[in-house]
C-alpha cells in the first residue's frame, strides 16, 4: 500500500429533478470502491453532494412558484434520502448553497483575480441553458445544437469575467504526458487533446450577469460565479479549503492520499481541463485519476429526464432489494463504456448470477451440511482429487480480484468472484456429495467436500462485501463464520477454520418469473 489515505468523489448532482438509476450507477461505483479501500485498511473519505446554482434552477423554481433555495431544498432532501435508502457510505454531503462552500468559493475567485488569472471582457457565443455551456459555432452538432445534449442553443452577448485557461495549456499537456494514467479511459484523453487543447484552449467565461441565482463576486456583485468554478471547487471546499487546511484538507489533499474522481463522460472536459488548471493556479496537487464512466443506454437511447425514459432506483430496490440494483450496476457495465439497461437484461442478471450461481450454491451447501452432518462439519483433509484445483482457483480469484479493484475495474472484479462461484458449483458436480453420502466409508471425504464448499463461500462472502450489502452478510451468517474469519486479511488463510456450523435460512435470492417481472419493469 503506497498511500495510507484514499479520497473518492462523485460529481455533484444537479437538483433540477429527481435522480434516476444513471445517477445511482455513478454513486454505487464510488461506494463499492470506497468500501473496498476500507476493507484493505485505507483511511477513506467519500464525498458526494449537489450543484445547486445556475439559470436552469432559477427557471425551474420560478415555474414551480418557489424561491430557488425552496426548490432545491425539496429535491436535495429526496437525493439524501435516496442515498440513505441505498446505504451509500459517503462521509460528507456538500451543497453549493452551504455557507462553507459559498465563502470558500468567493475567496478562491478573489485569489484568481488577484493573481491576474481572471480578467473582465465580453462574451458572444452559443449558449445551452440546460448544460450551462457556451459553444463556438464549430463545436455545435450537425443540426446546430448543443453537442452534449442535442438541445437548441441561444445567441448570447454578455459582460463576463474570463479565466486565462490558455496561460496553463502547455503545463496541462506536460502533466498529461508525465502522468499517463491521469485520465481514464485513454480515449477520453485523446478526445480532450484533439477537440479542445490542440486547436487552442480558449479562455473560459466564469461569471454571469443574466441571472442572480449564484455566488456573488465579492469585488463585483453584479456578477455571479459561474457553475464551473462554483461546482468544481466543492472537492476542496468540502475539505475546508482555503481557511481550514490543517485537518481534513491536510489529510486528504496531501501527497499521502490517493485521490480518485469518478464522473460521467459528458462532464469529463470540465474535470480534466478546467479543474486541473484551477488547481495549478491555486498551487495545489492534482488528483491521481479522473475516471470517466459511460451512460446507461435504454432501448430508445440515453436515459434522460427530457426523454421521459428514466428509471427510478426505488422501483428496483423496493421490489428486488438493494443487492439486485448494485449487482446489475457493478457487473453489467464496463467502467468507461456505455452500458445497456433493459428489463430483460436486469431479470436475466438477477436469475443467472444471484439466484442460480450464488443463492442456489449457498442453499445447497447449507442444506447438505444440515442434512448429512446435523449442521456441523470439520476439516478432514481427505482429498477427492478435485481439491487442489479448487484451492488454486481460490488463490487466483483473490489475486485477480485485488488487481482489478486496485485499477477500479469493478465490473471485472465482480466477474472474477462469480466465475469462482461457478467453479464451486462445478466442484459439486465433480465430487457428487449425494453419491458420497450413500457410503459410510466416504463420510470423511464427504465432510471434506462440504468444508471446501463452505470455505470457498466464505471467501466469496468477504470479497463481495463492497458489492452485495445484504447477500455477503447472509453468506457469512448462514455459515456462522466467526468475527476473526470475516476480516479481509483472513481470505489468504485457506485453513482459517477447522469447523463450520451452519444456520439454515431462506434462500438469499429467489429466482424471478421472467415474463411477470419484465412486464412490471416495462410499465
Q: What kind and span of H or E run contains 461?
A: helix 443-463
Same domain, 172 and 235: yes
Q: How far apart are CA 105 and CA 523, in angstroms?
A: 44
**The domain spanning residue 246 has which CATH number?**
3.40.50.620
Length of the chain: 523
Determine, yes or no, domain membership for 263.
yes
Same domain, 267 and 416: no
Query: Is the pLDDT reported for residue 302 higher than 60?
Result: yes
Determine, yes or no, domain membership for 308.
no
DSSP labels, 287-313: PSEEEEE-PEEETTEE--TTTT----H
Give the range of the structural domain holding residue 388, as residue numbers without chain letter: 342-501
Give me the helices (H) in 215-341, please: 227-232, 234-237, 248-252, 268-269, 275-282, 313-320, 322-331
84-131: per-residue pLDDT in tens? Answer: 999 999 999 999 999 999 999 999 999 999 999 999 999 887 888 777
340-367: per-residue pLDDT in tens? Answer: 899 999 999 999 999 999 999 999 999 9
DSSP labels, 4-30: SEEEEEPPPB-TTS---HHHHHHHHHH
- The three grid cell numbers given for residue 328, joined into one nine-digit string: 446489475
514-523: per-residue pLDDT in tens? Answer: 999 999 998 8
Determine, yes or no, domain membership for 333.
no
What pLDDT does 133 receive?
76
CA distances from 106 to 118, 133, 351 (A): 13, 21, 52
Same domain, 47 and 109: yes
Going by C-alpha positions, the residue among 471, 363, 350 that lies closest to residue 87 is 471
Query: Is the pLDDT reported for residue 226 higher than 90?
Result: no
Same domain, 289 and 374: no
The per-residue pLDDT of the chain, averaged, comes to 93
Query: Is the pLDDT reported for residue 1 higher than 60?
Result: no
> At which of 256, 276, 293 does a domain end?
293
**The domain spanning residue 496 has which CATH number?**
1.10.730.10
Determine, yes or no, domain membership for 402.
yes
Going by C-alpha positions, the residue among 359, 106, 338 that lies closest to residue 223 is 106
Determine, yes or no, domain membership for 168.
yes
Local confidence band at 261 (pLDDT 50, 70, 90 cut-offs): very high
> Would you say 86 and 250 are in contact if contact means Cβ atoms under 8 Å apart?
no
Going by C-alpha positions, the residue among 67, 52, 62 that lies closest to residue 99 is 52
> At which of 293, 317, 350 does a domain end?
293
Same domain, 287 and 377: no
Q: What is the mean pLDDT of residues 477-485?
A: 96
Going by C-alpha positions, the residue among 85, 78, 24, 521 that lies closest to residue 319 is 521
Determine, yes or no, domain membership for 520.
no
Same domain, 66 and 202: yes
> Would you say 208 and 160 are in contact if contact means Cβ atoms under 8 Å apart?
yes
Determine, yes or no, domain membership for 19.
yes
369-378: per-residue pLDDT in tens? Answer: 999 999 999 9
Same domain, 130 and 242: yes
Same domain, 254 and 137: yes
Q: What kind and span of H or E run contains 451?
A: helix 443-463
Determine, yes or no, domain membership for 314.
no
Same domain, 276 and 389: no
439-448: per-residue pLDDT in tens? Answer: 999 999 999 9
Same domain, 285 and 366: no
418-439: per-residue pLDDT in tens? Answer: 999 999 999 999 999 999 999 9
Same domain, 238 and 355: no
Split into its structural domains, the chain has a count of 2
Output the furthest CA–CA distance in the chain (Å, rounded): 90
Local confidence band at 19 (pLDDT 50, 70, 90 cut-offs): confident
What pLDDT does 18 receive?
83
DSSP labels, 88-116: ---SEEEETTSHHHHHHHHHHHHHHHHHT
Q: What is the mean pLDDT of residues 151-175?
A: 92
Q: What is the mean pLDDT of residues 292-296?
A: 88
Local confidence band at 296 (pLDDT 50, 70, 90 cut-offs): confident
Q: Which residue has the higher pLDDT, 244 or 230?
A: 230
What pLDDT does 470 receive?
97
> Would you say 50 and 13 are in contact if contact means Cβ atoms under 8 Å apart?
yes
Find out whether the peptide bond into 401 is cis, omega within 30 degrees of 0. no
Query: What is the 3 state secondary structure string of 130-184?
Result: CCCEEECHHHCCCCCCCCCCCCCCEEEEEEEEEECHHHHHHHHHHHHHHCCCCEE
Same domain, 269 and 360: no
Burial (0-12, 13-18, 19+ Cβ within 10 Å), 167: middle
Query: Is the pLDDT reported for residue 411 higher than 60?
Result: yes
Q: Which residue has the higher pLDDT, 306 or 274?
A: 274
Question: What long-range pairs does 478-486 form, CB within 8 A, spacing at least 24?
Answer: 478/362, 478/366, 478/502, 478/503, 478/504, 478/505, 478/508, 479/366, 479/454, 479/503, 485/458, 486/461, 486/462
What pLDDT does 21 receive?
87
Return all residues near 509 (Cβ < 8 A) that are at least 6 apart.
323, 324, 350, 354, 355, 358, 359, 471
Question: What long-range pairs does 274-277 form, CB within 8 A, spacing at least 24?
Answer: 274/163, 274/165, 274/204, 274/228, 274/232, 275/232, 275/235, 276/172, 276/175, 277/163, 277/165, 277/168, 277/172
Residue 158's DSSP bridge partners are 123
Q: What is the pTM of this model?
A: 0.93
Amino acid at each position: 500500500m503506497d498511500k495510507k489515505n484514499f479520497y473518492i468523489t462523485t460529481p455533484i448532482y444537479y437538483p433540477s429533478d429527481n435522480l434516476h438509476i444513471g445517477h445511482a450507477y455513478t454513486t454505487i461505483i464510488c461506494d463499492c470502491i470506497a468500501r473496498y479501500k476500507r476493507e484493505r485498511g485505507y483511511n477513506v473519505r467519500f464525498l458526494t453532494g449537489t450543484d445547486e446554482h445556475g439559470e436552469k434552477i432559477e427557471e425551474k423554481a420560478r415555474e414551480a412558484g418557489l424561491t430557488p433555495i425552496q426548490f432545491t431544498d425539496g429535491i436535495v432532501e429526496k437525493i439524501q434520502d435516496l442515498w440513505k435508502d441505498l446505504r451509500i457510505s459517503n462521509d460528507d454531503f456538500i451543497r453549493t448553497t452551504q455557507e462553507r462552500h459559498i465563502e470558500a468559493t468567493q475567496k478562491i475567485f478573489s485569489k484568481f483575480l488577484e493573481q491576474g488569472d481572471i480578467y473582465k471582457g465580453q462574451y458572444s457565443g452559443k449558449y445551452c441553458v440546460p448544460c450551462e455551456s457556451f459553444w463556438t459555432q464549430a463545436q455545435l452538432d450537425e443540426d446546430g445544437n448543443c453537442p452534449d445534449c442535442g438541445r437548441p442553443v441561444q445567441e448570447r452577448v454578455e459582460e463576463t469575467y474570463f479565466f486565462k485557461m490558455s496561460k496553463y495549456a502547455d503545463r496541462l499537456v506536460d502533466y498529461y504526458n508525465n502522468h499517463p494514467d491521469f485520465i481514464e479511459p485513454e480515449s477520453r484523453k485523446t478526445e480532450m487533446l484533439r477537440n479542445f487543447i490542440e486547436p487552442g484552449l480558449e479562455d473560459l467565461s466564469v461569471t454571469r450577469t443574466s441571472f442572480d441565482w449564484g455566488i456573488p463576486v465579492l469585488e463585483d456583485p453584479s456578477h455571479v460565479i459561474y457553475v464551473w468554478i462554483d461546482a468544481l471547487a466543492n472537492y476542496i471546499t468540502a475539505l475546508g479549503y482555503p481557511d481550514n487546511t490543517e485537518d481534513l484538507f491536510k489529510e486528504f489533499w496531501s501527497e499521502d492520499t490517493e485521490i480518485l474522481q469518478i464522473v460521467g463522460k459528458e462532464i469529463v472536459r470540465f474535470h480534466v481541463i478546467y479543474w486541473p488548471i484551477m488547481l495549478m493556479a491555486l498551487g495545489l496537487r492534482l488528483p491521481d485519476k479522473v475516471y470517466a464512466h459511460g451512460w446507461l443506454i435504454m432501448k430508445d437511447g440515453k436515459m434522460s429526464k427530457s426523454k421521459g425514459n428514466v428509471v427510478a432506483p426505488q422501483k428496483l430496490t423496493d421490489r428486488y432489494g438493494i443487492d439486485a440494483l448494485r449487482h446489475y450496476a457493478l457487473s453489467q457495465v464496463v467502467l468507461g463504456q456505455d452500458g445497456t439497461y433493459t428489463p430483460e437484461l436486469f431479470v436475466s442478471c438477477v436469475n443467472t448470477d444471484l439466484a442460480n450461481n450464488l443463492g442456489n450454491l449457498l442453499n445447497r451447501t447449507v442444506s447438505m451440511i444440515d442434512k448429512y452432518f446435523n449442521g456441523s462439519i470439520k476439516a478432514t483433509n481427505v482429498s477427492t482429487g478435485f481439491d487442489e484445483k479448487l484451492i488454486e482457483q481460490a488463490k487466483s480469484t483473490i489475486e485477480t480480484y485485488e488487481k482489478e479493484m486496485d485499477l477500479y475495474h469493478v465490473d471485472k472484479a465482480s466477474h472474477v468472484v462469480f466465475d469462482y462461484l461457478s467453479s464451486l458449483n462445478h466442484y459439486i458436480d465433480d465430487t457428487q456429495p449425494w453419491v458420497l453420502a450413500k457410503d459410510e466409508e466416504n463420510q470423511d471425504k464427504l465432510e471434506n467436500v462440504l468444508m471446501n464448499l463452505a470455505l470457498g463461500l466464505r471467501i466469496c462472502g468477504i470479497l463481495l462485501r463492497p458489492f452485495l450489502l445484504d447477500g455477503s452478510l447472509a453468506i457469512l451468517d448462514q455459515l456462522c463464520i466467526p468475527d476473526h474469519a470475516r476480516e479481509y486479511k483472513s481470505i489468504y488463510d485457506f485453513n482459517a477454520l477447522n469447523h463450520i456450523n451452519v444456520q439454515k435460512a431462506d434462500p438469499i435470492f429467489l429466482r424471478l418469473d421472467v415474463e411477470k417481472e419484465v412486464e412490471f419493469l416495462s410499465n
